[in-house]
Structure 1
């Protein structure tokens, strides 16, 4: 018996079939009417609308057959996936491909088969409209044409079963840009905690996610087809358009900038946008992807700090002028300010220090007068700050963020160097350092929150990319193994026990993965029921295989959700990245993703290694 091979586009075909939401649904008159017409028109006992799933063929409509499905391995329709218009078997008993098929030798006693492929607009074959007889027979050209016409009606009805208008949009975008056809991208697009938009080359919003709507105050319908310039602050538009021009000219691959959107209520909203240009297969521009982060709070804090700094500088200048540069009076004023204040001459010798130097450096401020900054600051800190000193002596007001002084390295300072000008000449500079430890801590917390999956508290996809990029920036990138996991059976639990049970299961999976990994291993939730583990220092095939087996065992052990015991499995794809490997982060993830699909195809709850570069890898 000949088993039909899988089409080259099998995974894309199955994705579209599942998202039609037609499998295992009740009979519908629109399809049953067609199968009755086929049976009556051709005078044969059996007519079917058959959909070919991963391991079975399922009958959406059937005449003359009790069974709802059969195994894909014995299905005639699985062979019809490969033909351009119609697949006809006049006598299956005399055809060596089917003579020993159980559907021929068994109770059904099939002899004649004619099946017309049911295709999507993109040419993906989902199943067939087929006619079956228990006697050998021929099918005239006119009968074949009529069967094809009826199949076209079935195709049209199936395409109307799309889950919603957004899925239809994804299918349309797939023909224009393969990256947008990935349904995984659609899920991430909707759920990411940052604003995300697909923007046409003309500058119109083509698709926006809920977070961007929240940032701008507009609904999705209000933003869609609106030009980004309409909600961009006029003062920021020119710079934004200049960056877009650089992208389209091919001089840069992406750009990032801070700008203001105009909220629906008219107020400005500060955002940080990261924009990349997506190109078609022939290299021509297709559309933009924009990721938007709301930085209004950060800008507000910066404005407050700048205003405070300006007020402080103004106060110091006014007091200094009023008191005719009286060091004694200035000392009293500045000693009561929670800021490091110093005066330095052109030879980088201290001329004045306030009492904060006693707290930070543990010395009497008066003892610093006349001493070189190189004597007081640690050598590495002096070397780091020296370029700022030179710029201040050149007449430039300059600020260095994230300064850590000697005895208080747990505190972070923002140091501003202000030229001291007398008679038109720079004679030195003032140093004003403000403690920004709390502000830095808040910014880091906000950054950490953006890098976390809110459901499992694991790092998210953005964190994974930064982790892999960090490995790539190391001098001689260390070896590691990347395990790409997709849960087997999760959908059944989610559908059978409810979404809250599904969320609980994902949290338990995250906990088991953390328990099955080392302290330095990186565990993240990519999206949905997909997880990734990066095991540092693992370059050996046998070690990676043992780790994968441990993951399979850990996740195949029953879970308890809603007081019920449930069992799932996991399909793993493994990429080994040897020491010094130059593979980009996206390439490493993509190779492991492909290996995972191969593991799933080979039976699920197992693993498969991605081929090594330049060689065929056997798992």
Structure 2
């Protein structure tokens, strides 16, 4: 028997293998994260590691050129075992790792930080880790960034499983719908055939009753041959007819038993097969009292034999002058039909159970836009119980705010065309991006209704937004990065040419920034850059673009600047904003900057940037802590 620890490890390995990622080729969708991690943390090595039974295997890596290592010398194995962020500031000072082959030696690994990656069911299957050849500290912000990057890798790692589960659920739903439609069609045909047979038998019985006046012997032969049980009584309630089918149903022949004892003597029960049939409910006695009976449900429960479920139809018999002569009842065995209905109900229960547990909204809407089916996810996502939705139109059940953005898609589906849309919903204190597919239910070329399948696409969209932010923002200051600046400058130049409004470009450097880094450390330098960026952004207009190019190099794109004199006023405001001392980790620092402005009424990219750079170096040559403005003539279109 496996121990608790062995069982947990087996479950973890099963979750890892079910991802289908081990030993697959290198993929850029993972490589982009290791490249990003290496650049973001300034480390030579970044890995996406998956911890198998006896090895750790690398799905992606930067700066580490082996595919796998034994698990017993894998730092990531410890991270997976702890199932939390593991940071080792100096591996030689940690007795767990100092003897590892990759740690020993002059160029050994001296720093490690790893964040666990989980499967959908929460099993730790690997890590996103970064390594350095020098010991280093790892602050709160860096830990948060590593967790955020690991969450993105984890989402990518589980994507195939999520997509496969969604596709499997959709396929299962389609198969169940097909099976249900087939079963309903088959049962409908069977029921139709049985009803036709019953009507045929009733016509035969009516013909036999009419022939009774002419030939009793013919009637007896017919009644003995039919599979419908026929019983009759005279006006005094004495049984006068009890055909072969009736005898087989009851396992008895007719007797002189008083009508009050028929229920117990002939084992007559109600539709439930449990409640004895009261005398006033026996179909033959009801007919004797003048009632016409049509498809009255009852059960014959003879001890030791399977119960028979019947539909009884009959009427009173009157003489030529209308005098009461008795009553007759025909009983059709519908046991198999009832069993078929039970199987259909059971199939519907299976379908409901599956639909209620699929992580998606599933519904069926008829051509009047009324819900005919809705799974329980509607209650979880919107607080509306499915049983309260059925029979109501979409606006009645979900409200006009829900219906209006879906109106066109529903109308298109009713015209026979499928459609797809994504809508952001705020319900029950949560914002969801709901991705919905609308499929028409078409039979014989006619639309019968609409199948609706909706999934939660919130995580996918958030993931896309995070990737976009990482690609266009500077990680240290939060300002637009070089890529974003170049896009915005190109757009600003185009707007300037269209509107004939001048444009200014300002290049800025922090004076003597290398000295700050060398004497006070990079942490202080980073804090100076963040405060510097904050002051720049707080000084210019919200329509201006402040960006960090690299190191202590910053740039500002200023639109609709009427004259070079206005550039000088902006420069004075910026110098005034930078002049107050910087308070950094208990230190007071006096920071200055040099800036160069290029102003042009009809700007061109290369000329504008070259002029701003020249103006910046002119300020530096003049002694720093000042600004210079270069005016360009209108550049050719």
TM-score above 0.5, yes or no: no
TM-score normalised over the length of structure 1:
0.42
Rg larger in 1 or in 2? 2
